[in-house]
Amino acid sequence: MIDMKIRNTDFCFSKTTYVMGILNVTPDSFSDGGLHNSTDKAIEHALKMAEDGATIIDIGGESTRPGYEAVAADEEIRRVVPVIEGLRKISDIPVSIDTTKGAVAAAALDAGADIVNTVAGVDIDEDMLTLVRDRSCPIVITYEKNYVNQFGEALIAMAERLINAGISEDKIIVDPGIGFGKTQEENLRIINELPIITQIGYPVLLGTSRKSVIGNVLNVSTDRRLPGTIATTVLAALAGVAIVRVHDVSENVLAIRMVEAVSGVEDGSYQH
């Protein structure tokens, strides 16, 4: 069963967990700021992530790390549009634009992006809602507030705002927002509750890659958080999460493949 078609890729979220590769074309992202902030380097890295098994490339031109410095929409557009245009000339991989600004999202979609990924969440503005409705594109919407009891219901309410604005229900992907407005305990609670959260009726995206929730548990620096990231990816795959958003694509793809092999033996679907 196809759950969503994005560009020329059929996504069967009920069957597998997909990997979204993070491409920050910023000087100040918490983990990889400055590494890919030239067009050629960014495109090269995107192609490498696709080769490693990423099914979506998520491109952002403004950091959302704690204490980040906001940039103007025109600067954000200057950073992301050439990368999207260049990638689109040589690859058909679905691309998402990670932004809170409607003008940036519009420019990215015009350049060839397919998905809007916004951390605005509950506070999403009307311009963004109108854009997504009119373009009929998929949207990943992040719950950027603190954890509440019956957290799944809070995600549903967030999604219903989009539906009330005219956005098709089958275009919505929800992100519980690990690291956004939440305490360490709340972040861990959400990861623990993934088997419940994935039952809300919308595909769920999980973004934990190299985040402080992992660093705080393991007491390690950003560059040593891959094992913790893989652990959360395994938990996500077991819980039925649709997409994991990661920096280290190859390692997380292999982890998901192993989870699915073990699960496939039980239900008879494993194929070597």
Position 30 scores a pLDDT of 44
Question: Is 41 among the residues known to form the active site?
Answer: no
CATH topology of domain 16-266: TIM Barrel (3.20.20)
Rounded Cα gap, residues 209 and 195, in angstroms: 19
Q: Point out the catalytic residue in the list 101, 171, 211, 225.
A: 211
Residue from 121, 37, 46, 31 nearest 76 by CA:
37
Position 245 scores a pLDDT of 98
Q: Point out the catalytic residue in the list 135, 171, 210, 245.
A: 245
All residue ranges of the chain with pLDDT < 50 are: 29-30, 32-34
Position 33 scores a pLDDT of 46
Domain boundaries, the chain: 16-266
> In terms of pTM, does the model score above 0.95?
no
Kindly give the pairing relationship between strand 172-175 and strand 115-118: unpaired
Burial 122-152 (b: 16+ CB within 10 A, else e): eebeeebbebbbebebbbbbbbbeebeeebb
Q: What is the tens place of the pLDDT at every residue in 75-126? A: 999 999 999 999 999 999 999 999 999 999 999 999 999 999 999 999 999 9
Question: Is 211 among the residues known to form the active site?
Answer: yes
